[in-house]
């Protein structure tokens, strides 16, 4: 099990050495979203009592960046290694499937958290964030980044070319992120679309994360309501982690 730290370090170093692309670019994208939507909709969109639209939007953008980049890290690393042919060197090492899981998912969580921290540092001055429940901020950041890190491992193993990986990003991750309440309160939607939002796991990640900053969210304004969301995400993480673990153990798409 000690070997996982070497692979973990390699994966962290991989994205850090091109940080302008993997960290700075997502931070800039989030800033542009904030400037455009915050400026245009600040006085036109009603959210929670006493909460401005920019303050509502900012936690959603932070978490959306965390999720997208956690997924991108593990999925892009695996597909690049498969296409370039250097995955064989990791397969030849005496690393267990547990080590693979810890290294790839762990490094994805690191990238997601680094990007999220970058977005927060670059934009916190634009709105008053009270950090009402810091523990929930950390909890949902960890749950969300772990969920997408594991999903990225599965996508990276499945994909045989970059187009396959892009398809998962464009048709699964992006729609789930954009339709999760990042930019709007779901109470403003029709009942049918509210129900659709409530089966989207990204909705609970972003709402719980937002509650940590504002003390209010679409899943409720009490710790008990947010706890239910966290427990559901924890169960989903456990199921996805088990699936990822079994896939790695089977050698699917790795051992021919």
Most confident of 40-54, 87-101, 123-137, 222-236: 222-236
Q: Which residues contact 136 (CB under 8 A, 6 or more apart)?
A: 208, 209, 211, 212, 223, 226, 230
Question: Percentage of the chain with pLDDT > 90?
Answer: 68
For position 140, what pLDDT does the model report?
A: 97
Cβ atoms of 59 and 129 closer than 8 Å: yes
Which has more confidence, 46 or 29? 29
Q: Given a cut of 60, is residue 37 above it in pLDDT?
A: yes
CA neighbor of 214 nearest in space, from 127, 135, 133: 133
Q: Does 228 score more than 90 pLDDT?
A: yes
pLDDT band at 38, cuts 50/70/90? confident
Q: Is residue 146 part of a domain?
A: yes
Supply the pLDDT for residue 100.
94
* Pair 14, 79: CB distance under 8 Å: no
Task: Report the pLDDT value the prediction gives residue 256, as an integer from 0 to 100.
Answer: 57
Residue 91's region, left for phi above 0, alpha for psi from -120 to 50, else beta, is alpha
Q: Within the chain, what is the greatest distance between any pair of CA atoms?
A: 59
Helices (H), the chain: 4-16, 19, 25-41, 53-84, 87-91, 97-123, 134-158, 162-168, 174-178, 191-198, 201-214, 223-250
Q: How many domains does the chain have?
A: 1
**How far is 243 from 64, CA to CA, in rounded Å?**
24
The pLDDT value recorded for residue 48 is: 81
Provide the pLDDT confidence category of residue 79 given band limits of 50, 70 and 90: very high
pLDDT at 27 exceeding the cut of 90: yes
Check residue 86 and give its pLDDT: 87
| Residue 142 located in a structural domain | yes
Flag whether pLDDT at 1 surpasses 70: no
Query: Which pLDDT band, with edges at 50, 70 and 90, does 42 fall under?
Result: confident
Q: What is the DSSP letter of 187?
A: G
- Domain with 20, as residue range(s), is 4-250
Q: Is residue 196 part of a domain?
A: yes
- Please report the pLDDT score of residue 16 as a whole number: 96
Q: Is residue 127 part of a domain?
A: yes
Tell me whether residue 144 is in a domain.
Answer: yes
182 lies in a domain? yes
The arithmetic mean of pLDDT across residues 244-250, rounded, is 94
Question: Which of 65, 32, 37 is closest to 53 using CA atoms?
Answer: 37
Among residues 44, 42, 108, the alpha carbon closest in space to that of 75 is found at 108
Cβ(153)–Cβ(74) below 8 Å: yes
pLDDT of 44 over the 80 cut: no
The predicted-structure confidence for 133-160, as pLDDT tens digits, reads as follows 999 999 999 999 999 999 999 999 999 9
Task: Please report whether residue 256 resides in a domain.
Answer: no
Quote the pLDDT of residue 88. Answer: 87
């Amino acid at each position: 099990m000690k070997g996982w730290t070497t692979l973990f370090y390699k994966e962290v170093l991989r994205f850090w050495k091109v940080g302008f692309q993997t960290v700075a670019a997502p931070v800039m994208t989030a800033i542009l979203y904030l400037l455009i939507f915050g400026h245009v909709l600040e006085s036109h969109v009603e959210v929670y009592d006493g909460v401005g639209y920019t303050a509502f939007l900012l936690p959603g953008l932070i978490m959306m960046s965390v999720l997208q980049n956690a997924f991108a890290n593990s999925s892009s690393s695996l597909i690049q290694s498969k296409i370039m042919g250097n995955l064989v060197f990791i397969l030849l090492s005496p690393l267990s499937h547990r080590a693979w899981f810890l290294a790839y998912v762990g490094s994805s969580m690191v990238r997601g958290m680094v990007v999220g921290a970058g977005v927060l540092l670059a934009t916190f001055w634009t709105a008053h964030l009270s950090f009402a429940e810091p523990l929930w901020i950390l909890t949902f950041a960890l749950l969300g980044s772990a969920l997408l890190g594991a999903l990225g491992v599965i996508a990276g193993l499945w994909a045989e070319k970059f187009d396959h990986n892009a398809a998962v990003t464009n048709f699964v991750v992006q729609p789930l992120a954009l339709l999760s309440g990042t930019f709007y309160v779901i109470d403003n939607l029709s009942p049918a679309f509210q129900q659709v939002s409530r089966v989207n796991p990204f909705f609970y990640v972003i709402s719980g994360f937002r509650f940590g900053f504002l003390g209010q969210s679409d899943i409720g304004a009490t710790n008990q309501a947010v706890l239910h969301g966290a427990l559901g995400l924890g169960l989903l993480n456990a199921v996805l982690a088990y699936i990822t673990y079994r896939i790695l153990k089977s050698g699917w798409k790795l051992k021919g």
